[in-house]
Structure 1
Amino acid sequence: MILFNTIVELQKHLNSIRKPSKIVGLVPTMGALHKGHVSLVEAAKAQCDIIVASIFVNPTQFNDLNDLSNYPKTMDADCQLLQKSGCDILFAPEIDEMYSTQELNLKRQQLEDRSWTNGIHVDFGLLDKVMEGAHRPGHFNGVAQVVSKLFRIVKPDMAYFGQKDFQQLAIIKSMVNQLALPVEIIMCPIVREPDGLAMSSRNMRLTVEERKTASLISKILFKIKELSKTKTISELKSFAEAQIGTEPKMRLDYFEIVNAETLQPITDFSQADSATACIAVVLETVRLIDNVILKE
């Protein structure tokens, strides 16, 4: 595996090995890697000839600066894990390699920077107004900003993202369509711990006791999936809220059953061809998200 920290050197290398017959796959990450990330690399290896991973803790998608400073950084371990997984190229830039001073100043002033659209009108409609978008203002603009930069830098044929960030996937797919970027977005299944907890870099911040408590989130989702065959959406939501209410260390940010295409809440399963249950919980100081597909 070859490590690059600059755009110029990365693109120089990619240009030297890129051929029409070779498919380039990109796995964008923020580091603190785990088996979920490994599954993305493995999915890319199954379909692509050249695998590029990126590690970049993107400042523009954090609306809470404490969250940014607390984000775990494990670069040495990440490099070893990527190498063992068969990644060919790692792009790990510094902040000033990815963002100009002007772009960072806009973020500091909490102003939305749309320069990443290159003058194209991009409108996510209601996709970024619900769930994570409602609780984390500016988050998805930052996501679209950095992912569009990575796509333009690497020029991948395919890019791999985990289902755990279900809303993020919808935003990225919409961005790709609106900017007419020639990349196929691949969603990979959630990888879970033996007790069901969705693997996440944020899990590193949980204490031993909090880690045990966190498994309640997936247990609720799995029960919701089971109950969805016989219960109404209103009953399912009441069940989820009551279950979270039994754990004093947990605070429910939201539980929604949404149309999997539009992300808009539904009140009856007949209102959508596909439906997903999405949850966000704050456990002490750590915010965790998860989801389960109910209808596809």
Structure 2
Amino acid sequence: MSTTASAESPASSIPVFTTIQAYRQWRQAAFDGKHTVGFVPTMGALHDGHLSLVQRSLAANDLTVVSIFVNPAQFAPHEDLATYPRTLPTDLEQLSRLAHPAPHRTPSAVFVPAVSDMYPSGITQDVANQKGTFVEVKGYGEQMEGRSRPTFFRGVATVVTKLFNIIQPTNAYFGQKDIQQGLLLRRLVGDLHLAHPTPAHLHIVPTARDPSTGLALSSRNAYLTPPERARAPAVYAALRAAATQWHSGHSKAHSLAAALGVLEAAAQDGGSEGVQMRVDYVEMNDPETLDIVPDGDTMASRESKPAILSAAVWIGRTRLIDNLILGDSGSILPMQ
């Protein structure tokens, strides 16, 4: 299959497409060759979590496409769009080193569009002044992360709809760390009857973690100072403490109290080192509706129906999120 990359793209052993037209020519050749295409959308600043998604795609698809696009529409006016790390040369170098051994596959293409191409009507972070077409998934973007970031999922749904329309993937891969995003996008592709991908081919992949601390890998971890990073594993520890109580038969309220206790102890210890910690939320939600699980519910009363246990915690100026799935995760995560 022949490919052409834009002359403006950085040097890379992988074809880099910076225009929609050039990418669509490549995608048509993939259709003609009856090749399956896996897709991993990213905002760059790639880490091992992103790369694990790419490896999952390499294992399951003939071709794998990675997009790198820092999406202005999912940043509120006070958020860190300007300072979000942009590391395209390093990202391309990391991708060029990836390979799946049997059969031998490497990343096939990288899509790096311009903001003006993704938002032809222009884009501002102020929703009230935005023009053009935007996508909302009503009833699924207001809970969990949406309570703290009310315009976030509107921006996510909009840009991913655009990317799916451009990339037309057979399969798409998202990390469990951003589980609400994955569940909302499954709802979106079903409601809009998208063929590329279908809901069954939008995969939520278990969170990649630091092997020694359990800290969920995230581009924002780079913002942490060394003392802050030393406290960051408390988020995962808190979730595990709550999960232990839940699986022991205790109520949701009791389980969340266990998580908050871990975080309060970590905040007290960190305070002596000048590390400020603040809990945004620790909550349990239903994966189908995203509604909050009642405080009195237990694992037995839910008849082992899964629940999402999630947390968002500020450590210094960095907001970290993480989650665990309680109960049977088979309907949410792909088979291992």
TM-score higher than 0.5: yes
Which residue pairs with 2:54 in the alignment? 41
Which residue pairs with 2:264 in the alignment? 245
Q: Once the 2 structures are TM-superposed, how far is the Cα of residue 21 of structure 1 from its aligned partner?
A: 2.9
Instruction: Name the CA distance, whole Å, in 2 between partners of 1:148 and 1:30.
Output: 15
| More helix as a share of residues | 1
Instruction: Name the CA distance, whole Å, in 2 between partners of 1:23 and 1:205.
Output: 37
- Residue 205 of structure 1 contacts residue 286 of structure 1 at CA under 8 Å; is this kept in 2? yes
Which residue pairs with 2:245 in the alignment? 227
- Residue 257 of structure 1 contacts residue 266 of structure 1 at CA under 8 Å; is this kept in 2? yes
Aligned-partner residue type, residue 279 of structure 1: A
Instruction: Name the CA distance, whole Å, in 1 between partners of 2:77 and 2:309.
Output: 25
Unaligned runs of 5+ in 1: none
Encode CA deviations 1:188-215: one digit per residue, 9 max, x unaligned: 1100002110000000110111111101
Aligned-partner residue type, residue 264 of structure 1: D
Matched, 1:110 2:128: yes
**Aligned alpha-carbon RMSD (Å):** 1.7
| Percent of matched pairs sharing the same residue | 36
Instruction: Name the CA distance, whole Å, in 2 between partners of 1:290 and 1:30.
Output: 18
Which residue pairs with 2:4 in the alignment? none
Matched, 1:289 2:321: yes
Going from structure 1 to structure 2, the CA distance change for 1:185 and 1:112 (only over 3 Å counts) comes to farther
RCO higher in 1 or 2 (8 Å CA, sep ≥ 6)? 1
Encode CA deviations 1:101-151: one digit per residue, 9 max, x unaligned: x3415x43535767245xxxx6432x2111111110111010000000000
Encode CA deviations 1:5-43: one digit per residue, 9 max, x unaligned: 111111112212333631111100000001111111111
Alignment size in residue pairs: 289
Going from structure 1 to structure 2, the CA distance change for 1:280 and 1:113 (only over 3 Å counts) comes to farther
**TM-score when scaled to structure 1?**
0.92
Matched, 1:31 2:44: yes
- Residue 27 of structure 1 contacts residue 160 of structure 1 at CA under 8 Å; is this kept in 2? yes
Which residue pairs with 2:219 in the alignment? 201
1:170 to 164, 183, 186: 183
Give the SS at the match of 2:313: strand
Matched, 1:275 2:276: no
Give the SS at the match of 2:232: helix
Instruction: Name the CA distance, whole Å, in 2 between partners of 1:229 and 1:90.
Output: 43
Encode CA deviations 1:161-198: one digit per residue, 9 max, x unaligned: 00000111111111101111111201111000021100
Instruction: Name the CA distance, whole Å, in 1 between partners of 2:55 and 2:318.
Output: 28
Which residue pairs with 1:189 in the alignment? 206
Instruction: Name the CA distance, whole Å, in 2 between partners of 1:99 and 1:114.
Output: 8
- Residue 124 of structure 1 contacts residue 171 of structure 1 at CA under 8 Å; is this kept in 2? no
Which structure has the bigger radius of gyration?
A: 2
Instruction: Name the CA distance, whole Å, in 1 between partners of 2:33 and 2:236.
Output: 43
Give the SS at the match of 1:115: coil
Instruction: Name the CA distance, whole Å, in 2 between partners of 1:103 and 1:73.
Output: 21
Going from structure 1 to structure 2, the CA distance change for 1:12 and 1:223 (only over 3 Å counts) comes to same
Encode CA deviations 1:213-256: one digit per residue, 9 max, x unaligned: 10111111122222212221111111222222230421111111
Please say which of residues 237-246 and 132-141 is displaced more in the overlay: 237-246
Q: Once the 2 structures are TM-superposed, how far is the Cα of residue 276 of structure 1 from its aligned partner?
A: 1.6
1:255 to 253, 261, 282: 282
Which residue pairs with 2:111 in the alignment? 91
Matched, 1:144 2:157: yes
Matched, 1:129 2:142: yes
Instruction: Name the CA distance, whole Å, in 2 between partners of 1:63 and 1:203.
Output: 20
